[in-house]
Structure 1
């Protein structure tokens, strides 16, 4: 009995092998032309009966048609939509046509038989794999990193009605381009997908600060104010604009604050107007003129808070709104005010204008002794008297116009004095400053002046003495007026003479007419005779 079962099993196996061999043999004859079997697709392309080359071309055309398809890229909360072409996706597996051709033709007898039997019941679909072109995809992600990314929003403070409110921070997001390239490849490793959405790889940056840390900001560390009542409207606007940009700034421990970076760019688009400012020893009109009073006022509040000054420059010429060596100039990027928060807690800057007064106050956590007092004293070391300069113009002779006021040159220093309980504990030179002397400039009119007058006035100008110039101008103006009056009298006399001659000529006309008439009468009489 057992022997009989064994013989039957062997016979069945033999029959299966015979059938498999026959099937494979038949299929091999069918595929002898080197074409792809029926019911085989590459992506959405039916490549049945195609050669390998024909299948490759068909898929290439299909990939070209995909270039306008859209892919959604996500980075945290931000999303953008890009086309396949923009994103730089290319056909990533060009051997798929060869795989399609070999399907059911390679491998052992059993695997080939199974593949061909499967085709009798369902299609075989090879995926169209897209791959990130490293150069193109990287360029696209870099160009759109601002759209995808987000800077961290630090915890902040807002001061209203004398009270602080903490503003919550938010984590920042930055796309990791190298890892995102791998993510794109992995996403399309199983083939193209319509409505594709790819979550890119990102790194996060935590915001600075916390409610607990900012709740410590409540004490006045230093305050100062200056007056700008004599300022023109353009300068007033610039002071208000710059103070508004600084107001509300929070500086965390160890951070450096740059005034120029915060208030720039200084142009009409960003709220600034034309106003007077110093340039090369003269006063010129420029956008942002007057912001130096903002940096100076802030400087005085900061040094009283005893924050660390890392960069400060004196003006080229003395200013009127603070004592010598108490100023801080702003001029492009080469003169700036910078300071660092050297305390262990954040500090808050409040800046505003009221009427024609500018105020700055530094808030933080007070750790200094309550009876400690910081005083700053200005000392002028030397002075340089300004010169007087003149320039000529085509204005009327006799006009002398002051176009620039003088500034006395000074060398000065600022002392920092510390008292505890009213007793002086230390006195040190805090900074030193040099201010250039700036001349008073007068414009002298030479319009209508004779060569002699012009030469004489220019000689007086060369003396550099205002009195001498005024005397020369007065003399030649008087001479010009006398000459003008004499010329007018001469013209008047000539006009009178002409009028008299004309009158005399008119008076002679009747006499001449009578003589002519007598002569005519005589001639007529003779004619009658």
Structure 2
């Protein structure tokens, strides 16, 4: 028995030494290899037997295969599609290739031996980690905010038969861009394995403004105004009614700003507007939306009587006829706008409508001003500039005369006068306006091959006298020349029939022509753009 006890420890030692030598040999043999061990994967890519550079290239090729992937980024019911490049997606842990290469080659002898033996039983998989670029992803979300977000519809009001009724609003959705970038980063780092995916963004619910308590305060008429557009063309009438309908029913909460241009745009056919007269560079032209300035002007006068804050207002370049100087508010594309802010503690309701050729605006809210306090606005003309007469020629048929009416130039100011119990409390200049003078433009057609007619018209134009020009035009227009020729031919036939002497064929007719200077003067149309208020676009009058 004693011999057996001596043999077993020796046998154990021999076996241990033998195992150690075997493990060392196996590990040493693996360390000498310049390729990744068999049964090693990076993601779905088998990289066993590859060099480090070959393995990296193989994984890059696999990653690039996902470049055509489509990600649907959703926020509640809204969504947009994005590509990997839209988010700056990339493979971030490229050092995993070196880790795969060193698998079975790091740690102590037994750890490396165990790793080697484990590979004989199952594959070793190293995960690919993806990352999105923060700035690229945030920029993408910002650029698609309109598609992802849903504006809340505030609780509103409608006025029917003199009574206000509350209209329920709707919740909105707003993407939290910073939180969404973090969420996307986490998803691609921890979850995405490649291919198409639907990913939820972080979004917040936006509650509509306006409680029943707030809206119930709207009951008092704070300011009103009306203007007459009954003599307008059909197109202008349509434009006025269209613009009013887009403003009517507006609810403005405390601190909110209202833009007339944003409310009524676009000023083109797609916005429901027709061609009508508008001011442009000192002349009247046909423009889509002609007439909406009367809408903004009427609203302006109602708003200033409600004493809301005017944050932007422009005068027309030339005088308008429906209000006194300095009481107007022009709209010109996106160059001129009327903006005002609700400076009250309660909501404001704007009512607008047209009836009998009159446009009306009423501003309702909560009246906090004393009952004996009255506000009046008075226009004062500071200076005037008389218009000139300008004659220009055109290629229209000779004798054609068209006239564009003149506009007197004025500088004006608007006074705000406050009285309390009939006694003036304050008087201040509320705004100032400058309207440029524009000439009466007489356009004379000179299109003719008749040298005599052209000479006579040039002589008349040189006088710069409208009456003489019109007389010459009546004499030398094509119809008048043709009528004289026909009359002369009839006289010749009559004389021939009665045996009289026929006058020479080249005998001229004897029209009455003005005795004026013969040196023609042809003024040209001014080309200076309308700079009275800085607008080059059409102002809608």
Of 236-245 and 361-370, the range deviating more from structure 2: 236-245
- What is the CA distance between 1:9 and its match in structure 2? 12
Is residue 82 from structure 1 mapped to residue 68 from structure 2 by the alignment? no
**1:454 shift after superposition:** 4.6
**Greater CA drift, 417-426 or 60-69:** 417-426
Indicate conservation of the 8 Å contact 1:68/1:85, yes or no.
Answer: no
Report how far residue 62 of structure 1 moved.
2.1
2:121 matched to 1:115? no
Cα distance change on mapping 1:12 and 1:95 into 2, 3 Å: farther
Instruction: Name the SS of the counterpart of 1:21 in structure 2.
Output: helix
Partner Cα distance (2:244, 2:15) in 1: 93
Shift of 1:107: 0.5
Of stretches 382-391 and 346-355 in structure 1, the one that deviates more from structure 2 is 382-391
- Please tell me whether residue 373 in structure 1 is matched to residue 408 in structure 2: no
Give 1:99-248 correspondences, 5 Å limit.
Answer: 99-133=99-133, 137=137, 140-141=140-141, 143-147=143-147, 149-150=148-149, 152-153=151-152, 155-161=154-160, 162-168=163-169, 170-176=171-177, 183-190=183-190, 192-193=192-193, 196-200=197-201, 210-248=211-249
Question: How far did 1:433 drift?
Answer: 3.4
Structure 1: runs of 5+ lacking an equivalent: 1-5, 501-529
Quick one: distance in 2 between partners of 1:10 and 1:298? 108
2 CA distance for matches of 1:301 and 1:218?
Answer: 16
CA contact (8 A) 2:41 2:47 kept: yes
CA change 1:484–1:139 in 2 (3 A) is same
User: What is the CA-CA distance between 1:276 and the residue it aligns to?
Assistant: 0.6
Q: Which runs of 5+ in 2 are unaligned?
A: 503-541
Inter-partner Cα distance in structure 2 for 1:430 and 1:137: 49
SS at match of 1:272: coil
TM-superposed CA distance for 1:380, in Å, is 4.3
Report whether the alignment pairs 1:489 with 2:488: no
Q: CA deviation at 1:450?
A: 6.0
TM norm structure 2: 0.76
What CA deviation, in whole Å up to 9, does each residue of 1:422-457 have, x standing for no partner? 554444443343434444444445666965555455
Q: What is the alpha-carbon distance in structure 2 between the residues aligned to residue 102 and residue 378 of structure 1?
A: 90
- Residues 367-409 of structure 1: CA distance to partner in whole angstroms, max 9, x if unpaired? 11233332333344555554444445566666654x3234444
Give the conservation status (yes or no) of the 8 Å contact 2:372–2:421. Answer: yes
Q: 1:55: which partner in 2?
A: 55
Which residue does the alignment assign to 1:276? 277
Residues of 2 paired with 1:463 and 1:335: CA distance? 40
Matched, 1:295 2:296: yes
Matches within 5 A, 1:426-437: 426-437=426-437
- The separation in 2 between residues aligned to 1:350 and 1:23, in whole angstroms, is 96
Instruction: Give the 3 Å change call, closer, same or farther, for CA 251–419 of structure 1 in structure 2.
Output: same
Take 2:361 and 2:8, find their aligned partners in 1: how far apart are those partners? 102
CA gap 1:14/1:339 in 2 versus in 1, 3 angstroms: farther
Q: Select the structure with the greater relative contact order (CA < 8 A; seq sep ≥ 6).
A: 2
1:20 touches 1:113 (CA, 8 Å); kept in 2?
Answer: no
Shift of 1:278: 1.6
Quote the RMSD (CA, aligned, Å): 4.0
User: Do the aligned residues in 2 keep the contact of 1:399 with 1:445 (CA within 8 Å)?
Assistant: yes
CA distance in 1, matches of 2:156, 2:439: 47
Tell me, yes or no, if the aligned pair for 1:127 and 1:192 is still in contact at 8 Å. Answer: no
Of 349-358 and 388-397, more deviation after overlay is shown by 388-397
Q: Whose helix fraction is larger, Structure 1's or Structure 2's?
A: 1
The answer as to whether partners of 1:155 and 1:211 remain within 8 angstroms in 2 is no
Partner in structure 1 of residue 344 of structure 2 = 343
Q: Is the 8 A contact 2:348 2:364 kept in 1?
A: yes
Are the equivalent residues in 2 in contact too, given 1:145–1:175 (CA < 8 A)?
Answer: no
Superposed CA offset, 1:259-302 (max 9, x none): 23333332222222221112233211112211110111111111
What TM-score, normalized by structure 1, do the two folds share? 0.77
